[in-house]
Amino acid sequence: MSLTDWIVLGLTIFSIVLYGIWKSGNNKNIDQFLMGSRSLPWYHVGLSVMATQASAITFLSAPGQAYSDGMRFVQFYFGLPLAMIVLCITFVPIFHRLKVYTAYEFLEQRFDLKTRALTSFLFLVQRGLSTGITIYAPSIILSTILNINTVYTTLFIGGLVIVYTVYGGSKAVSYTQLLQMSIIFTGMFLAGVLVVYLLPGNVSFMSSLKMAGKMGRMNVIDWKFDPNNRYTVWSGLIGGFFLQLSYFGTDQSQVGRYLTGSSVGQSRLGLIMNGLIKIPMQFLILLIGVLVFAFYQFNRPPMFFNQYEVKQIRKSVYAAEYDHLNQQYGQAFEQKKIKANELIKAIDSKNEDRIGYAKDQLKVADTKARLIRQNAIELMKKNNPKADDNDTNYVFLTFVTQYLPKGLIGLLIAIIFLASMGSTASALNSLASTSVVDIYKRIVNPNATDKNYLNASRLATVFWGLVCIGMALYASRIGNLLEAVNQLGSYIYGTILGVFIVAFYLKKIKGTAVFIAAVITEAIICILGYFDVIAYLWLNAIGALLLIVIAVLISVAAPSKSPPVGETF
C-alpha cells in the first residue's frame, strides 16, 4: 500500500474509535456500560444490529464466496424478514417489559436457574468461538499487506478492540457502528463501480453478468428441495428463518443491540430496517464478487490468492516445480482469455448457437486452468500439510490491493477493519453481559455493588477478548470464514431457539423438561453436524423442533402439579 493508503486507513480507524469513546461518556454503572442507558433511536438500533451481523467476514469472504460459488449464498437470508416480524411481535415487547439485561434472564423467570445457566453457557461457547473467527478476518489483511504471520496481526486487532470496548461499553459500540456502517455503504458502492470501470472496453456491465451466468455464477435462485444442498430457496426460507430467529432473538450480541432502543417502537423499527435492507445489501456484496470473477476472466489472477502461502512454497525445495506450474497456469489463462472474449462477442451477437459453443469452449479452458491450480495446491500441502489451501478469503483483498487507486485502497481496507471492530465489540459486550448478569451476579456474587458489577463487566470483556484472540489463532484451518461462522452457529442456535419457543408458547412445560430436552437435542445436533448427515442450515430447524417435541414428551410422561415458574403472560 502507498503512504496515502496508510494515512487514510489510520485516520479512519482511530477517528472512529475516538468518536465512539467521546460519545459514550463516563460509564458509572452496569446499565450504562451494558445497555447504553436504553436511550438510542431506531436508526441507531438498526445500523447497530446490521453492523453486529455484518462483520469483516461479510466484506472479505462474501465476494470470495461469489467468486468461487456464485450468488446462491444470498438465499441464506430469505428467512430474515419473516424472523424480524416474529421478533417484533413476540420477543421485543417481552424483553422490554421485563427490563432484562440479557435474553436469558427471562428464562429463569419462566423456567428455573439451571435452564438459564445452560442456555447462557451454550451462548458463551458459540459466541466466543465465532468472535474468534471475526477477529481473524481483518488479521488476514494486515498479514497480506505487511507480509507477516497472522499471529501478530491477530494479537494487534484483538487488542485494539478490547481497549475501546472496555472503556466505552455499549454506547461506544453503538456510536462507532453508526459511523462505521455509513462509511461501509459508501466504500462498497465505490468498489462495485470501479470493478465495472476496470473491465475491458468491449465488456459492458450486462455482458459481464451474462458471461458470469454462463459460467454458473448467477445462480441466485434454486427451487429444488434437496436437504443436502446448503443454499436453496427452501433451506433459506425454513432453515434460514430458524437460524435468523434464534440469532436475533436469543443471541445476546443482537438482543443487547436492540435492548438499547429507547422504546419498544424504536427497537421494532430498527429490526424492520434490518429486515428490509439486509438481503439487498448482501446481494450487492455478492454481486461485487461476481464482477470480480468477470474481471479476472480478462486479467490474470494469481494461481493462488493467499500470497503468504505462495511465499512459503517459494522458499522450499518445491520452488522450481511451483514456478513451472505457475508458468503453465499463465499459458492456460491466455487461452482462457481468448475464449472469454469469444463468449462476449457471441453474447453481443445474440446468436444462441454461437453462445452455446463459446460457453463450452470457455469451460474447457477454465477446467484446464483449474487442474493446474489444483496441482499447485497439492504441492503446497506436500510441502506443508498444515498449509491453508482455501484462498477464497483473499480474492477480494487481492483485487483491492492490486487494482484500485491510491486512497481508495486504504478506505476499503479500513471498511473491513471497521466491520470487524463493530461486530467484535458487540460480541465482547454481549459475552461480558452474559457472564456478569447470568453467572457472576446471579450465582457467584448476587449482593455486590454497582461499582463491583461495572468492574466485573470490564474484567469479563478483557477475559473474553483474550479467549477470542486464542480462537482466532486457529481460525486459518477452517476454510471460508463466512460459511464457518454460520455453520458453527447452526450447531447451537436451534437448541436455544427451541427453549425460547417453549417459554413463549407452551406455558404448561416447566424447567426440568426443557433442560433435559436441551441436553438431548444438543447432543443429537452435534452428532448430525459432525458426521455431516444433512446440510448445516437445516440443523437450526431440526434443533428447535426436536427440542419442542422432546420437552412435550417429557412433560406428558412426567407431569408436574406445580404451576410454571415465573409466569409472565
Q: Could you tell me if 54 and 419 are in contact, meaning their C-beta atoms sit under 8 angstroms apart?
A: yes
Inside any domain, residue 565: no
Based on the fold, state whether residues 471 and 509 are members of the same structural domain. Answer: yes
Q: For residues 72 and 231, is the Cβ–Cβ distance under 8 A?
A: yes
Asked if residue 128 and residue 29 are part of one domain, the reply reads yes
- Averaging pLDDT over each range in 137-151, 155-169, 328-342, 441-455, which range is the top one? 328-342
Domain boundary among 387, 414, 449: 387
Last residue of a domain, one of 365, 387, 409: 387
Cα dihedral 299, 302, 306, 312 in deg (nearest 10): -160
**Measured between alpha carbons, how far is residue 173 from residues 123, 128, 167, 198, 253 in Å?**
20, 18, 10, 36, 11
Residue 464 has pLDDT above 80, yes or no: yes
Same domain, 312 and 280: no
User: In this structure, what CATH number is given to the domain that contains residue 404?
Assistant: 1.20.1730.10
Distance CA 431, CA 451 (A): 19
How far is residue 201 from each of residues 208, 268, 298, 310, 344, measured CA to CA in Å?
11, 47, 11, 32, 12
Q: Are residues 64 and 170 in the same domain?
A: yes
For range 386-398, the mean pLDDT: 85
**Distance between CA atoms of 66 and 74, rounded to whole angstroms?**
9
3-class DSSP state of 346: helix
pLDDT single digits (tens) 477-509: 666 666 777 788 889 989 999 999 999 889 899
**Does 569 map to a domain?**
no
User: Would you state the pLDDT for residue 569?
Assistant: 36
Give the model confidence (pLDDT) of 171-190 as tens digits.
666 666 666 677 777 777 88
CA distance 51 to 257: 10
Residue 53 is part of which domain span? 3-296+400-557
Give me the mean pLDDT over the 233-237 stretch: 90
Beta bridge partners, 40, equal 261
Answer yes or no: is pLDDT of 358 > 60.
Answer: yes
Q: 68-97 burial, b for 16+ CB within 10 Å, e for fewer?
A: ebbbbbbbbbbbbbbbbebbbebbbebbbe
Is residue 463 domain-shared with residue 522, that is, in the same domain?
yes
Lookup result for grid cell 429486515: 275
Which pLDDT does position 146 carry in this prediction? 66
Number of structural domains (the chain) is 2
468, part of any domain: yes
Which pLDDT score is estimated for 525?
95
Q: Give the per-residue SS3 of 244-309.
A: HHHHHHHCHHHHHHHCCECCHHHHHHHHHHHHHHHHHHHHHHHHHHHHHHHHCCCCCCCCCCCHHH
Judgement on whether residues 178 and 42 belong to the same structural domain of the protein: yes
Residue 160's φ and ψ, nearest 5 degrees, are -60, -45
Which grid coordinates belong to 545? 423442533
Residue 393 lies in a domain: no
How confident is the model over 294-304, as a mean pLDDT? 95
The residue among 254, 172, 165, 177 whose CA lies nearest residue 432 is: 165
Residues 104 and 169 in one domain: yes
Looking at the structure, do residues 331 and 427 belong to the same domain, yes or no? no
Residues 336 and 281 in one domain: no
Q: Are 30 and 454 in contact (CB under 8 A)?
A: yes
Highest-scoring range by mean pLDDT, 47-51, 74-78, 277-281, 341-345: 341-345
Of 25, 219, 138, which Cα lies nearest the Cα of 413?
138
pTM (2 d.p.):
0.78
Instruction: Indicate the residue among 387, 410, 428 that finishes a domain.
Output: 387
DSSP state of 40: B
d(CA 483, CA 475): 12
Q: Is residue 215 part of a domain?
A: yes
User: Does residue 337 surpass a pLDDT of 80?
Assistant: yes
Specify whether the backbone of 301 is left (phi greater than 0), alpha (psi in -120 to 50) or beta. beta
Residues 417-459 pLDDT 10s: 776 776 787 788 889 889 998 999 998 999 888 889 888 988 9
Q: What pLDDT does 247 receive?
A: 84
Report the candidate in 568, 442, 431 with the shortest Cα–Cα distance to residue 115. Answer: 442
Whole-angstrom distance, CA of residue 389 vs CA of residue 75:
26
Q: Residue 213: pLDDT band by 50, 70, 90 thresholds?
A: very high
DSSP string computed for 433-498: HIIIIIIIIIII-TT--HHHHHHHHHHHHHHHHHHHHHHHTTGGGSS-HHHHHHHHHHTTHHHHHH
Task: Name the more confident of 18 and 246.
Answer: 246
Does 42 lie in the same domain as 68?
A: yes
In a domain, residue 567? The reply is no
Tell me the per-residue pLDDT of 238-277, one tens digit each, with 9 for 90 and over. 988 988 888 888 888 788 778 778 788 888 998 998 888 8
Is residue 442 in some structural domain? yes
Query: Residue 446: is it exposed, middle or buried by C-beta count within 10 angstroms (0-12/13-18/19+)?
Result: exposed
**419 and 540 inside one domain:** yes
Phi, psi of 436 (to 5 degrees): -80, -50
Whether residues 322 and 267 share a domain: the answer is no
Length of the chain: 569
* Confidence band for 55, pLDDT divided at 50, 70 and 90: low
Residue 292 lies in a domain: yes
